[in-house]
Amino acid sequence: MKKLLAFLFLVSTLIFNAQEQDPKAKAVLDDVSKLTKSYKTINADIVFTMFDKDKKATEKPQNWKIQVKGQKFKLEIPGTVIVCDGKTLWNYNKDAKEVTIKNFDPNNEDQNPSTMFTMYETGYKYKYDKEQTVAGAPSNLIDLYPAIKPEKKKFHTVKLAISKTKKQIVQMKMMMKDGGTQVYDIKAMKINTEMPDALFVFDLKGFKADQISDERD
């Protein structure tokens, strides 16, 4: 969970003026933002890979799945299922057979992975890099730089690859300060599929839980 959330990093109160940003990058990101906000639901398959400073994979790639409907989301990663109905957040640890329940705060970057598709909107400076084919898609490459308390971030740059035709993010690379890289490849994205609200409520009947920690106020 922390690997994804460290990458989602958004939510801040400072928005930089347009003249402080690269206009070419801004135009690309504005198109992505407008299209993404028009989606009623998002269903995405993501492959996550970590590399060390020598560009060697430190572990096997992981297959993740995220489903988003407004402030509701369900995230499935190896060993963990996280479900949110917009008010309550359930985190199920399969190995520990433990469920943690918290109040959901959409402005808390440690809780809200559903912002991954629009994280660039606030708190980041951006610069257009180049055009390049990524995962078979002609893409615009844009670099993001944290502009709010960058010294507290574990990364210094985020590289986005955005499909020129679909105007969707196809890959994200987080360049870590220790020289490593975290790569998120979006292998498939389905939009506006039917998602019942019940999908975003954690049902204990479907999971083996020996311990339930309710941390709600």
Average pLDDT over all residues of the chain? 84
| pLDDT average, residue stretch 53-69 | 93
96-123: pLDDT as tens digits: 999 999 998 876 656 566 566 666 677 7
Closest CA to 71 of 54, 93, 59, 87: 87
The model's confidence at residue 180, banded by pLDDT at 50, 70 and 90, is: very high
Q: What is the CATH number of domain 2-10+17-199?
A: 2.50.20.10
Domain boundaries, the chain: 2-10+17-199
- Which ranges in the chain belong to alpha helices (H)? 2-8, 23-37
- Residue 7 clears pLDDT 60, i.e. is over it: no
The model's confidence at residue 16, banded by pLDDT at 50, 70 and 90, is: very low
- Give this prediction's pTM: 0.81
| pLDDT average, residue stretch 78-100 | 93
- Residue 10 clears pLDDT 50, i.e. is over it: no
Q: Which residue do the tokens 């057979």 mark?
A: 97
136-175: pLDDT as tens digits: 999 999 999 988 888 888 889 999 999 999 999 999 999 9
Using DSSP, state whether 34 is helix, strand or coil: helix
Tokens of 112: 């809200």
Centre a 10 Å sphere on the Cβ of residue 109 and count the other Cβ atoms it contains.
18
Return d(Cα 159, Cα 167) in angstroms, integer: 15
